[in-house]
A and B are shown apart, each in its own frame.
Chain A
Amino acid sequence: MNVELSRRGFLKLAGAGAAGTTLGAMGFGEAEAATVAHVRQFKLTATTEVRNTCPYCSVACGIIIYAKGDASKGEKADILHIEGDVDHPTNRGTLCPKGAALKDFVHSATRLKYPMIRKSGSDRFERVSWDQALDRIARLMKDDRDANFLTHNEAGVPVNRWTSTGMLAASATTNETAWATFKVAKTLGIVGFDNQARV
């Protein structure tokens, strides 16, 4: 519109009367159709909000996961964005450089997707099914436990220790997972059992 005006201005100025008619033919439509000012489409529209906690440090900032699809309804939920939860008393919506980039932790290229086994001496991991992996684990663990489980010490005191297999538990798992893990590990008699608190 205002380009139209200013062109007339120009024509007066240059006095090249004839030009006017021909210019139209030269595809000026394009030059004039400047896109009107607009802001980026707000990307969280029509996403599902889920309240979660940052898994990194122990400040435990409140976060909100924005996903396409609702995991609570069993739908496939694709995480689109993660941002601090304004309602959280500790972080008040703020996040550190790690927390602010949580989405790319969830989607990182090196996320593991399938069970893998590296055979003795091999230089690669090979994909296996969960059943293969878990049966193998149960077998390896039982064999070692049966071979090395100590029921009584020299003094004949029942000690029920299994020292030849150890476990490190993850300090980023939930209390509930930790409790399940605790039950299994201590029941098996594993004493070499620690978590990051040791470091």
Chain B
Amino acid sequence: MTNAWTDIKNTDLVVVMGGNAAEAHPCGFKWVTEAKAHRGAKLIVVDPRYTRTASVSDLYAPIRPGTDIAFLSGVINYCMANGKVQWEYLRNFTNASFIVKDGFAYQDGLFSGYNEEKRDYDRTSWDYVIGEDGFAVTDPSLQHPRCVWNLLKEHVSVYTPEMVERICGTPKEKFLKVAELISTCSAPGKVMTSMYALGWTQHSSGSQNIRAMAMLQLILGNIGMRGGGMNALRGHSNIQGLTDLGLMSHLLTGYLNMPTEKEPDFAKYMETRQFKPLRPGQTSYWQNYRKFMVSFQKAMWGDSATAENDWNYHYLPKLDVPSYDVLRMFELMYDGKVNGYICQGFNPLLAFPNRAKLTAALSKLKFLITMDPLETETARFWENHGEYNDVDTASIETEVIQLPTTCFAEEEGSLTNSGRWLQWHWAGGTPPGEAQHDTWIMAQIFLRMRELYRKEGGAFPDPLMNLSWDYADPNEPTAEELAREINGRALTDVMDPADPTKVLVPAGKQVLNFSQLKDDGSTMCGCWIYSGCFNEQGNNMARRDNHDPDETGAYLGWTFAWPVNRRTLYNRASADLSGKPWDPTRKIIEWNGEKWTGYDVPDISPTAKPEEVGPFIMNQEGVSRLFTRGMMRDGPFPAHMEPFEAPIPNVMNPKMVGNPVSRVFVTDAEEFGTSAEFPYVGTSYRLTEHFHYWTKHNRVNAALQPEFFVEISEELAKEKGIEKGGWVRVWSKRGSVKAKAVVTKRIRPLVCDGKTVHVVGIPLHWGFTGAAKKGFGPNSLTPFVGDANIETPESKAFLVNIEPSSGPEEASA
């Protein structure tokens, strides 16, 4: 989220699309109802189903799963065509005026440079024209035919209301109502917020769904505004934290990223990362990359990381592929190329696509280690549960070690929420039986392996031997010790750049925040963006001052938000070029002549002059991007792409299947179904009564939503002779599930490109362990393909068939 949950109360219009906030985030959704009740705000819901969020909306529009880009491009087109644009914002805070290279083009649903064999683009033409001065050429008048603005205008012109209806199945008049209401937020005094979640990410074009809305928000001037922004409603309690801390195959901490084979040494690695500004006087904050990276290496390997050995750069694994993401790992596992797998509080057997493939893959492991407070289907993937898990136990050779861990109530530490708040919590209960903290378990694995390497030697033990593990009790580092490491400290006295005789941070002291980090090895910091969370002032994540001056919703005294306690990202953009708030009633910060002051920590140097430095300091341009150059694999602008399994061909290019640059493994390509065989669109989702596969273990939630079901329209039920509450079988090319049928008016058939499209809704909370009735998950049906940029599986749009059936059979055990 660019903004905080509590900030949503400041909005005039909430657009819930690609998410279902009321059901998945009820207590955050409270702030939507507050905005409605006290600001007269309106709520728009665009969703294939009439959800519980829609039940309290002012305007609901149905949409076919996987067509959000067309819908949003249609809205952008509407705003551009009707001059509903925040012009000042657009000219000064976006790259609308940047001139694009001549080579760049788009036709037949493809951008210039497409290579069909490689399933990839040559992106060199997707860039700005660079002048002699080394800066990008712009035309502030927006007249230049090759400026981003005019290229975008041309690009979205095809998405007329008629085209939107044709692709999305959204009735034209409904779409126009939505577009009209959204366009009113181009007024500087009107702000819209976007609340989205997995409804946008779980598509092969997921990143572009989000881009499309982000662009719309920039055109309306809503980024950085109080009550505005792009608000990703993240799933798990600390999914933000684990991403920030780089627990991903392509990341290191703080969005520093993993080196590749093309970067054999540190110098080479740094070359492509210390971005120089593309416009005069801009900050391009990544210029500090080296400071963060060296401090990170020092946090990892302490004294053994020196300038001489490139700060142990060679200790870091180098990638030969963009990422060893989950899908790739299971593909490798399926090929027998993976021997061991550790699942820490994770239930992949239900979480990832194509369960049959997952089971086959897990069966090929030598060993599987699970760490969880609860039973998981993954830990028992080898156990036969009749139709619910029909495996041949004896033939599965995988050794499974199941480790009991503590849960939230029994441990201390911080979680980072969607709004980037790092909130500390304390243990309230005693763990059951012999359950242990994950930290203890990881420490044990590390210490025991290090001991083995010390005794026996083995493959490249150096990183283990030198890993800094400086804790009072090496067997169990405390949350505080680890938090202090994450914040970072001075290893030797850090001098004040302004006055080299003055010690800024004495050796051994915590750094104030990342502004004090150095690239000379004098500082260490586990995760630069978190720096400031636990400094000499103490544990800022444990602060509990809930005062909110003038009720802006900022709560600066409540815990700690990254970066440097900033609550609204890009908040500099909430003020005009001269530094005055676009809307005085929504002031966050303003320029008082010599510095920025206000309710939030300015997202810019406090003394940076408004006319000189742009608000988007992380970008080389200093402004936001309507055109992303070559940064996204599937295009600098979002373009309509059908899901890999679609009920109709892509109207832009009938030959185009799915996202043209998504990675597709051979075996999976053969497992895509066609609309002839599988006429209905399946989509998966969560229900408010449950949280993933956890709460089915809870007697209370099990009582509130006891049994697996699918939702279909009354029309489809009639057509198929399916009865309310009766059993149905739903199957795709990859698998089959049995469920109770909920027949509802909330799902209505859509007409797309002249064809009637029925949607089958498939919630995801059931398995074969826990207190609720045994059931299936949608992942028995979903396709094994991900988003072209980030490899998030396409679980929101796929093809299925459905028929009335009998109930499943239990295990004959």
Contacts and interface: CB of A to CB of B under 8 A. Distances in A.
Contacts of A87: 544, 546
A159 B458 contact: no
Interface residues of B, number: 169
Contact of B345 (A90, A92, A170, A179): A170
A44 interface: no
Interface string B329-362: 1001100011111111110100110000000000
A124 B405 CA distance: 20
Interface stretch (B116-124, B418-426, B606-614, B749-757): B418-426
B238 A178 contact: yes
A172 B324 contact: no
11 contacts: A59-B27, A65-B409, A77-B428, A89-B548, A97-B688, A111-B435, A120-B398, A134-B448, A142-B456, A194-B248, A197-B234
> A82, A109, A162, A194 — which one has the most chain B CB atoms within 10 A of its CB?
A194
Contacts of A161: 317-320
A159 B317 contact: yes
B26 to A, nearest CB: 4
A175 B245 contact: yes
Nearest to B444: A134
B769 interface: yes
Interface string A121-164: 11101000010011111111110111011010101011111111
A199 B351 contact: yes
Contact of B374 (A65, A77, A108): A108
B398 to A, nearest CB: 7
> B314, B346, B704 — which one has the most chain A CB atoms within 10 A of its CB?
B346
Contact of B341 (A106, A157, A166, A185): A166
Contacts of B419: 90
A60 to B, nearest CB: 3
Interface stretch (A5-13, A22-30, A31-39, A46-54): A46-54
B429 A79 contact: yes
A69 B405 contact: no
A106 to B, nearest CB: 5
Interface string A55-70: 1111111100101010
Contacts of B300: 183, 186-187
A179 B459 contact: no
- Interface pairs A-B: 10 shortest CB-CB: A113-B433, A170-B345, A174-B413, A65-B428, A50-B428, A112-B404, A60-B417, A171-B236, A165-B340, A138-B448
A92 to B, nearest CB: 8
B771 interface: yes
A177 B464 contact: no
Interface in B502-558: 526-527, 530, 544, 546, 548, 553, 555, 558
Contact of B429 (A65, A130, A163, A189): A65
A41 interface: no
B449 A142 contact: yes
> B247, B248, B384 — which one has the most chain A CB atoms within 10 A of its CB?
B247
Contacts, number: 496
B242 interface: yes
B791 interface: yes
Interface in A65-105: 65, 67, 69, 71-72, 76-79, 82, 87-92, 94-102, 104-105
A117 B239 contact: no
A189 B463 contact: yes
A16 interface: no
A175 B530 contact: yes
B374 A110 contact: yes
B409 A102 contact: yes
B414 interface: yes
B27 A61 contact: yes
Interface stretch (B693-701, B706-714, B730-738): B693-701
B29 to A, nearest CB: 9
Contacts of A95: 27
A3 interface: no
A114 interface: yes
Given A178-B241, A183-B446, 4 more contacts: A90-B417, A110-B771, A157-B318, A176-B486
A115 B695 CA distance: 22
B337 A163 contact: yes
B342 A166 contact: yes
Nearest to B426: A50
Nearest to B367: A140
B234 A58 contact: yes
A166 B340 contact: yes
A94 B30 CA distance: 9
A59 B247 contact: no
B434 A130 contact: yes
Contacts of A56: 236-237, 691, 694-695
B105 interface: no
A192 to B, nearest CB: 4
B577 to A, nearest CB: 32
Contacts of B329: 166, 192, 194
> B237, B366, B395, B435 — which one has the most chain A CB atoms within 10 A of its CB?
B237
Given A164-B339, A171-B238, A120 B397 contact: yes
Interface of A: 48, 50-62, 65, 67, 69, 71-72, 76-79, 82, 87-92, 94-102, 104-106, 108-123, 125, 130, 133-142, 144-146, 148-149, 151, 153, 155, 157-199
Contacts of A130: 434, 436, 444
B247 A181 contact: yes
A139 B455 CA distance: 12
Contact of B402 (A118, A171, A176): A118
B648 interface: no
B415 interface: yes
Contacts of B384: 123
A151 B460 contact: yes
Contacts of A101: 695, 698, 700-701
B458 to A, nearest CB: 4
Contact of B316 (A76, A177, A185, A186): A186
A51 B366 CA distance: 42
B630 interface: no
A116 B402 contact: yes
B793 interface: yes
A113 to B, nearest CB: 3
Nearest to B436: A130
B344 A173 contact: yes
B65 interface: no
Contacts of B11: none
A104 B30 CA distance: 24
Contacts of A178: 238, 241-242, 245, 247
A168 to B, nearest CB: 4
B584 to A, nearest CB: 24
Contacts of A99: 27
A112 B322 CA distance: 37
Contact of A165 (B202, B342, B346, B548): B342
Contact of A182 (B6, B236, B247): B247
Interface in B394-411: 394-405, 407-411
Contacts of B410: 71, 106
Given A170-B438, A187-B300, A193-B249, A179 B27 contact: no
Contacts of A50: 426-428
Nearest to A162: B317
B97 to A, nearest CB: 34
B801 to A, nearest CB: 25
B243 interface: yes
B437 A159 contact: no
Interface in B222-250: 233-249
A59 B448 contact: no
B453 interface: yes
Contacts of B795: 199
Contacts of A149: 459-460
